[in-house]
């Protein structure tokens, strides 16, 4: 049975996910077989494995850092909020139910043994499991049924490293308060403290480090400086820091509509690698301007976001952008929104029944109970030499009633296939597809952007950007270097071995 170490945080967004990824990279570099694990993840940013199972995106980039294939067992429970009160509960990669917070809280104990079995399987197959907590372990109103923090640490019998974000302020109060609120047995599990996102001279911090160690009887094993890494964020909380302005030094302005139920925003990270592209997000009240490409992303609730587009005035802006000759692209829920009608007779997404779409593509969508979760390989129909890789996550079935298809899918979950996906308007400037991750295919991405350049009278760029996987690998190495330089890895290994 492999060893384990768990990374918990004093609050959400303390940097747990990134530190877990960095530790996974370090252990892999040191010759260990390592995997990430997070028992419960709440995120709209998900991924489909090679077998067709759905899991949280954070455990995917952690698996990439560990140089291992994403495995649905790394994230047994995924909660995908469908409204302010309810979430779709996905267990071991498949939809289990839709529950409100109270029902799910009562249901959690039934999952504990199943989670432990999945964890034990991973631990038996690997040298080290790096476990990530969720939120804070000091949520004393929820701890009696906890399966994500100390509850998971008990199931795995794992030592805990507590991470605190100094950039938020009040770091010592957060550390002391978190540890003080833990039950005595849980306090004993905390074997080290990491202060994250530090800016300035560490010498000014030393008196505080000594005092917090004396107060908590837990050593500070690292102070990690604020680092700049281009690593995919776990959830749309990261959108608060996204760019909302046009970079006028770039040739192409790509604007992404920030839907209220936006999912899989990581679809667009690879666009930022292109030297001629400015990527920005549009929120209500922002000036849409005159983007060369307007993207409508995925949505966990397409019908509710259809209402949002109308009430926010963004519907009129989308039509204005289309009329001025710009490209418009929709992915998954965005593809559905571009169509003629949205039908929900079974009330899968809402009680709104049937709504009209934006009417920019000749397609119709009907929502169904069965969820499509596939990993696919496809060929562009406009240029069959361009291969696409991506994955599908959707409840609806979309039929073309006009327009041509976008691509031909030739492989689904590792099995040969032949079916058409998506739609393209007659002039080729409105495109819809169910394929998440389509921009990660670098040759297709460059070809698509060159078509936009040509429509503006600009010369195409022949050089294809570095493959996205290779780019991410370099970023994981940079992260590992930063952690090695600022965390006592000898102490970390000691904690694991004990």
| Cα(401)–Cα(73) distance, integer angstroms | 40
Contacts by residues 209-218 (CB-CB < 8 Å, ≥ 24 positions apart): 211/172, 212/172, 212/175, 212/176, 215/176, 216/175, 216/176, 216/179, 216/190, 218/162, 218/179, 218/190, 218/191, 218/192, 218/193
Burial of 179 (0-12, 13-18, 19+ CB in 10 A): buried
pLDDT in tens, 310-351: 999 999 999 999 999 999 999 999 999 999 999 998 887 777
pLDDT tier at 240 (50, 70, 90 boundaries)? Answer: low
% of the chain at pLDDT higher than 70: 98
pLDDT in tens, 415-463: 999 999 999 999 999 999 999 999 999 999 999 999 999 999 999 999 8
Does residue 236 carry a pLDDT above 60?
no
pLDDT in tens, 175-221: 999 999 999 999 999 999 999 999 888 888 999 999 999 999 999 99
Domains plus CATH for the chain?
3-231 (3.40.50.300), 243-466 (3.40.50.880)
pTM greater than 0.85 (yes/no) = yes
Does residue 250 carry a pLDDT above 60?
yes
Query: Which residues are designated catalytic?
Result: 332, 436
Cβ neighbours, 10 Å, residue 332: 29
């Amino acid at each position: 049975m492999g060893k384990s170490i768990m990374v918990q945080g004093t609050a959400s967004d303390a940097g747990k996910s990134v530190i877990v990824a960095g530790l996974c990279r370090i252990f892999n570099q040191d010759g260990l077989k390592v995997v990430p694990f997070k028992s419960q993840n709440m995120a709209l940013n998900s991924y489909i494995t090679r077998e067709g199972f759905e899991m949280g995106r954070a455990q995917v980039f952690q698996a990439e850092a560990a140089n291992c294939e994403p495995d649905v067992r790394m994230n047994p429970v995924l909660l995908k909020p469908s409204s302010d009160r309810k979430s779709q509960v996905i267990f071991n990669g498949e939809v289990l139910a839709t529950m409100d917070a109270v029902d799910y809280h009562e249901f959690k104990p039934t999952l504990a043994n199943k989670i432990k079995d999945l964890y034990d399987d991973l631990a038996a197959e690997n040298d080290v499991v790096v476990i990530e907590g969720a939120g804070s372990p000091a949520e004393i109103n929820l701890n009696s049924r906890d399966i994500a923090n100390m509850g998971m640490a008990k199931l795995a019998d794992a030592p805990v490293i507590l991470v605190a974000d100094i950039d938020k302020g009040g770091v010592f109060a957060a550390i002391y308060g978190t540890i003080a609120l833990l039950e005595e047995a849980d306090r004993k599990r905390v074997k080290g403290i990491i202060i994250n996102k530090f800016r300035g001279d560490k010498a000014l911090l030393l008196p505080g480090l000594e005092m917090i160690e004396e107060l908590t009887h837990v050593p500070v094993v690292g102070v990690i400086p604020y680092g700049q890494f281009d690593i995919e964020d776990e959830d749309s909380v990261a959108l608060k820091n996204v760019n909302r302005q046009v970079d006028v030094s770039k040739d192409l302005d790509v604007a992404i509509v920030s839907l209220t139920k936006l999912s899989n925003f990581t679809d667009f990270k690879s666009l930022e690698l292109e030297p001629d592209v400015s990527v920005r997000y549009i929120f209500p009240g922002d000036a849409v301007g005159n983007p060369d490409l307007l993207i409508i992303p995925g949505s966990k609730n397409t019908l509710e976001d259809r209402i949002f587009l109308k009430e926010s005035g963004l519907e009129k802006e989308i039509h204005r952008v289309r009329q001025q000759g710009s490209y418009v692209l929709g992915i998954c829920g965005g593809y559905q929104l571009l169509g003629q009608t949205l039908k929900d007779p079974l009330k899968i997404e809402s009680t709104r029944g049937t709504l009209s779409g934006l009417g920019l593509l000749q397609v119709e969508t009907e929502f169904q109970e069965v969820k499509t979760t596939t990993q696919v390989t496809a060929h562009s129909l406009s240029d069959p030499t361009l291969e696409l890789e991506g994955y599908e996550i959707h409840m609806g079935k979309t039929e073309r009633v006009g327009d041509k298809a976008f691509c031909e899918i030739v492989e689904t979950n590792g099995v040969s296939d032949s079916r058409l996906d998506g739609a393209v308007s007659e002039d080729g400037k409105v495109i819809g597809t169910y394929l998440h991750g389509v921009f990660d295919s670098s040759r297709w991405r460059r070809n698509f952007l060159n078509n936009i350049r040509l429509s503006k009278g600009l010369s195409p760029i022949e050089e294809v950007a570095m493959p996205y996987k290779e780019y991410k690998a370099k970023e994981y190495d940079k992260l590992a270097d930063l952690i090695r330089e600022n965390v006592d890895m000898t102490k970390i290994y000691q904690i694991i071995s004990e």
